[in-house]
Amino acid sequence: MELNFDKLNALLGVMVNELGAAQNAALVTVGDELGLYRAMDGKGQLSAAELAESTDTKERYVQEWLSAQAASGFVTYDAATAKFALSPEQAAIFAVDESPVNMIGGFQALEAVYADRPKLAHAFRHGGGVSWTDRCSCMFCGTDRFFRPGYKANLVANWLPSLSGIVEKLERGALVADVGCGFGSSTLIMAEAFPNSRFVGIDFHAPSIEHASRHAKALTNVQFKTARAQDFQGSGFDLVTMFDALHDMGDPVGAARHIAQSLKPDGTLMLVEPMAGDSLADNLNPIGRVFYAASANTCVPASLGQEVGAALGAQAGERRLTEVLNAGGFSRVRRSAETPFNMVLEARI
């Protein structure tokens, strides 16, 4: 076959960009760990020497780091002064932990992806999965840190109000289970917002539950328990929530069935899942690219490491998710809210 050099050069351009992104991902986490982004926030223009002095780091390394960040568009360079600055938009993504668009957690989770690559290659060749319990610990920290800003921005303000009558129940006092809660960020956000309600965070990963319990602070309306989604204890819940977790489970139908049984007759399941269309063609876009890669690296291996191993994947789509919920006993499912990264499904028995 003859090469089409226009297509070849276009693809080579993409690959150069990919290599730069992959190389710089490690530098992003270094910059976060050493406080380089935070030290630049609101400080105006800084030289490499000034940034190094303020962060107790070495100037030569900082100069090269700043150059790489500037080439990536992550910091701004002024050739006239030979200094660097962080714009408000760059700060929102890299420096401000409470920003709803902070993306550092996604880079942090990549460290686990590369650390666990041999396990993934083994699973590709021999089958089976890579259990969540066998992942490098930075996967848990990075995953929580990646999703938490979106939850803080949308959960109380947009997602819960999109459900029929739920905010009123929570304000009066409701019983809520947050299944697959991980480090508990979603549980704690709800518990702080609705002090009259009681919340139980549930996850099968004991170290995550221990972390969540330590961060519950003085909240008296929340507790965390280690249990599986398909057989956790408790019933009479007004609301069950699941955040970016169902597609990772080995037996999502079993989880949905047990949740349906744990709800009051008029109870609600709020399912938050990655945004996706119902076909591969629908998802061939930048967001789908991120989620398919995360799915291949993490989500599908996690599911295949559990019983049943349904392996829904992070781009299952609303139609497939609705089929799972229907099979679990939910007869009414609708999309109640969405963001560029998430869809919110309301499910009732």
Q: pLDDT per residue over 274-327, tens digit each?
A: 999 999 999 999 999 999 999 999 999 999 999 999 999 999 999 999 999 999
Q: Residue 189 is inside which H or E element, if any?
A: helix 185-193
Average pLDDT, stretch 192-206? Answer: 97
CB under 8 Å to 45, separation ≥6 — which residues? 78, 81, 83, 84, 85
Asked if residues 187 and 219 have their Cβ atoms less than 8 Å apart, the reply is no
pLDDT of 85-117, one tens digit each?
999 999 999 999 989 999 999 999 999 999 999
- Determine the residue type at 308: V
Radius of gyration of the chain (CA): 22
Is the pLDDT assigned to residue 137 strictly greater than 90?
A: no
DSSP 281: G
Question: Is it the case that residue 29 has pLDDT exceeding 90?
Answer: yes
**Strands, DSSP E only, in 188-320?**
198-203, 222-226, 237-243, 263-274
For domain 149-279+306-348, give the fold.
Answer: Rossmann fold (3.40.50)
**182 — alpha (psi -120 to 50), left (phi > 0) or beta?**
left
Query: Helix 138-154 to helix 104-115 angle, to the nearest 10 degrees?
Result: 150
Which pLDDT belongs to residue 218?
82
Q: What is the pTM of this model?
A: 0.92
* Cβ neighbours of 307 (radius 10 Å): 12
95-104 CB contacts, 8 Å cutoff, 24+ apart = 95/37, 95/38, 95/40, 95/41, 96/41, 98/149, 98/152, 99/149, 100/149, 100/150, 100/152, 100/153, 100/154, 101/149, 102/145, 102/149, 103/146, 104/28, 104/29, 104/32, 104/145, 104/146
Q: How far is CA 246 from the centre of its chain?
A: 13
pLDDT in tens, 31-46: 999 999 999 999 999 9
| pLDDT tens sequence across 204-256 | 999 999 999 998 988 999 999 999 999 999 999 999 999 999 999 999 999 99
Domain boundary assignment for the chain: 5-96, 149-279+306-348
Question: Do the bridges between strand 83-85 and strand 76-78 make them parallel or antiparallel, or are there none, so unpaired?
Answer: antiparallel
CATH T-level fold of 5-96: Arc Repressor Mutant, subunit A (1.10.10)
Report which of residues 134 and 318 the model is more confident about. 318
- C-alpha span between 275 and 269 (Å, rounded): 18
pLDDT in the model for residue 1: 81
